[in-house]
Structure 1
Amino acid sequence: MERAAGSSESVGTVVVAGLANLAIAVAKAVAGLLSGSAAMLSEAAHSFADTTTEVLLFTALRRGTRPADPRHPFGHGKESYVWAFIAALFTFVAGAGFSVTQGVQSILASRHNGSYLVSYLVLAVSFVLESISLTRAVRQVRAASRHWRLTPLRFLRHTADTTVKAVTLEDSAALVGLVLAALGVGLTELTGNPVWDGVASIAIGVLLLVVAAILARSNVSLLVGRAVPPRIRAGIEEELAGLPTVERVDTLLTMQLGPDDVLVAAKLDFADDATGAQIEATADLAEQRLTDRYPTIRYVFLDPTRGLGRTGPTGGGRHGEL
């Protein structure tokens, strides 16, 4: 139920952001064409890029939650990171590339035609709509951070839910971009120098480059097979070390299989007098304790192993998995 609720919340956040960005993109494009402002056209490209990103993130949520099958025994969770990575690349190429190019062309052309009032009105309305979208994303981040007993910033840094991270960062960047566009248009009107409009457009492009780089790096890390955050890993090790008949946790490996799926694999040193039945019971208890404490843990694999310096009939340090 918790997984379903989290996924549903993320879908709602992405849909709200996508609809808001689409409406804003059209308004900015019209304002940019009427005013001739490079900053406004850059903001239009920014919003169109964000809209496409939301579509890709929605695809990531849908395809990443498909159930496991014989060809994909651990599910399709990592596919969500593929689509999220593509979304980051699109922001990099379409949004940032267009903004920087438009800014350079505006500076070289050194002209600005059209009404400034239209730009100001669209920027004001866009700021309100982006704020509404960001408020929903921040509400989800705060609720999740309270659940994990983390600060919102720390949660965003470590979360494997790249959709809510992407929406939060993109909406935050959108608000900053609107301020930059307003400064560019305002300074151009005050000084009569259209260079400021071009500089604002380039600044918006650089902002998008930073956001795209952060999101791309996060998704690549998750695609490669990122472990859970240190705090959660410590909690998992604590639970395993406290199990009956367990002397020591020799090895603990974790991997994020998807936003709501974690794999745990560990080598445990059991007491010398532990029977096979006791080890089996401990394995069942381990899975129960871990999933109760961390509902995102989906798979638990335990490997009984001999302690250092101890030998047995096989002379090895490893037994079969449970």
Structure 2
Amino acid sequence: MAQPEAKSESVGTVIIAGAANLAIAAAKLVAGLISGSAAMLSEAAHSVADTTTELLLFMALRRGARPADARHPFGYGKESYIWAFFAALFTFVAGAGFAITHGITTILVHEHSGDFLVSYVVLAVSFVIEAISLGRAVRQVRREARRWGTTGRRYLRLTADTTVKAVVLEDSAALIGLILAGCGVALSELTGDELWDGIASVLIGVLLLVVAATLAYSNLSLLVGRAVPERLQGEIERSLAGLPEVTRVGTLFTMQLGPEDILVAAKVDFRDEATGADIEAAADEAERRLRERYPEVRYLFLDPTRSMPGGARAAREPEPPIEDGPVDPGLR
């Protein structure tokens, strides 16, 4: 799949998720106000947080896709992680904060809820809409996982495309939150005790905390400058070491510059007999090989340097067998 197509698919996934959350937020708010249910109002806050998150993720995709310029020679890929981090913070503060606070208030005050029927209707409709949104995101994850010969779970855990990860986690949390809200409303109606409604609201808040913390940690790691996973780094090293003019790869550095941009820098020990022209040809061949296999490798820098004996693992040293097939560079 071409990279622009992948970006377009991610944009579509985010837009659909945002539109679904906006419609659901309005319905939940009306239901919460009519019924007085803390869980329903918490779910409304949840959907508002998710809608704002989708807007921020859309900004992440658009801003991060801008081409490199003189002031930013490596492009704007890392900016996508900044906006995605803001999205995680908003979920943490607005969604989780409101749900937990309102839930505790309900537990302490035991405010009486009104008509429950409207809550059940809205919860059921919301569940269907959220399931449709999640289904699209899951299909994208599965397509990408099949493309790179890995599992959907592994792809979701290690991919550098945090926007897709955010949509899947948030939609999954939304479905779980709807179930919690439904249980809280039903138990409150059956027992006549608003304690259950409040507990459901607090649990929804805790769920949002977990999602927000997971996404924030993932984006912070990428903002700091995360290397590609060790397995991919080993494959890049072997690819460089396989060049005829290369004796050894002394040091290899990699960095994820964006969801689809990788920087590779290496100190390479060339054969003593290699001429300047040989080294230039080897560097061109290395770039061609890597970009052919991994289009995400946008920048490659080779430093001809004699390696210290024993300073790095020999490139041609036998490697343990790899169990999985080739995987997305962001997934190793």
Alignment TM-score > 0.5, same fold: yes
Q: Distance in 1 between matches of 2:112 and 2:173?
A: 25
Alpha-carbon distance in structure 1 between the residues aligned to 2:144 and 2:168? 13
The ranges of structure 1 where at least 4 consecutive aligned residues each deviate by more than 4 angstroms after the TM superposition are none
What is the TM-score with the length of structure 1 in the denominator? 0.94
2:249–2:307 Cα contact (<8 Å) kept = no
Could you tell me which runs of 5 or more consecutive residues in structure 1 were left unpaired when the two chains were aligned: 310-322
Aligned to 2:230: 230
Quote how far apart the aligned CAs of 1:25 are.
0.3
Provide, for residues 6-55 of structure 1, a one-character-per-residue CA deviation record: whole Å limited to 9, x for no partner. Answer: 11010000000000000000000000000000000000000000000000
Structure 2: how far apart are the matches of 1:229 and 1:141? 19
Structure 2 counterpart of 1:225, one-letter code: G
Separation in structure 2 between the aligned mates of residue 74 and residue 113 of structure 1, nearest angstrom: 56
User: Which sits farther off after the overlay, 218-227 or 235-244?
Assistant: 235-244
CA RMSD, 1 decimal: 0.9
- Determine the C-alpha separation between the residues in 2 that align with 1:168 and 1:112: 35
The worse-fitting range, judged by mean Cα deviation, of 229-238 and 55-64 is 229-238
Alignment match, 1:56: 56
Q: Contact 2:113/2:194 (CA < 8 Å) preserved in 1? A: no
In structure 2, what is the Cα distance between the partners aligned to 1:239 and 1:49?
A: 45
Residue 97 (str. 1) matches residue 102 (str. 2): no
Residues 93-125 of structure 1: per-residue CA shift (max 9 Å, x gap): 000000001101111111222111111100000
Secondary structure at the residue paired with 1:78? Answer: helix
Letter of the 1:241 counterpart: A
**What CA distance in whole angstroms lies between the structure 2 residues aligned with 1:273 and 1:152?**
47
Q: For 1:33-80, what per-residue CA distance to the aligned partner results, in whole angstroms no more than 9, with x for missing partners? A: 000000000000000000000000001100101111111000111000
Match of 1:169 in 2: 169
Inter-partner Cα distance in structure 2 for 1:170 and 1:219: 15
Paired with 1:102 and 1:66, the residues of 2 have a C-alpha distance of 41
Give the structure 1 partner of residue 209 of structure 2. Answer: 209
The answer on 1:110 being equivalent to 2:110 is: yes
Deviation at 1:231, TM superposition (A): 2.2
Q: Which residue identity is paired with 2:55?
A: V
CA contact (8 A) 1:21 1:47 kept: yes
Whether the 8 Å contact between 1:29 and 1:44 is mirrored in structure 2 is yes
1:214-269, CA deviations, whole angstroms, 9 ceiling, x for partnerless residues?
00001100000001122221221121111111111111100000111100001111
Q: Contact 2:14–2:57 (CA<8 Å) still a contact in 1?
A: yes
SS at match of 2:250: strand
Paired residue secondary structure (2:112): coil
The separation in 2 between residues aligned to 1:65 and 1:250, in whole angstroms, is 33
Aligned partner of 2:249 in structure 1 is 249
SS in 2 for 1:16: helix
For residues 195 and 300 of structure 1, what CA distance do their matches in structure 2 show? 60
The letter for the 1-side match of 2:177 is G
Q: 1-side partners of 2:262 and 2:147: how far apart?
A: 17
Taking the TM superposition and a 5 Å limit, the aligned residue runs for 1:288-307 are 288-307=288-307
Give yes or no for contact 1:2–1:295 (8 Å, CA) kept in 2: no
Gaps of 5+ in 2: 310-332
Shift of 1:290: 0.5
CA distance, structure 2, for counterparts of residue 198 and residue 67 of structure 1: 49
Shift of 1:149: 1.8
* TM score, norm. by length of structure 2: 0.92
- Aligned residue for 1:318? none
Q: Tell me what 1:269 maps to.
A: 269
AA aligned to 1:189 is E
How many aligned residue pairs are there?
Answer: 309
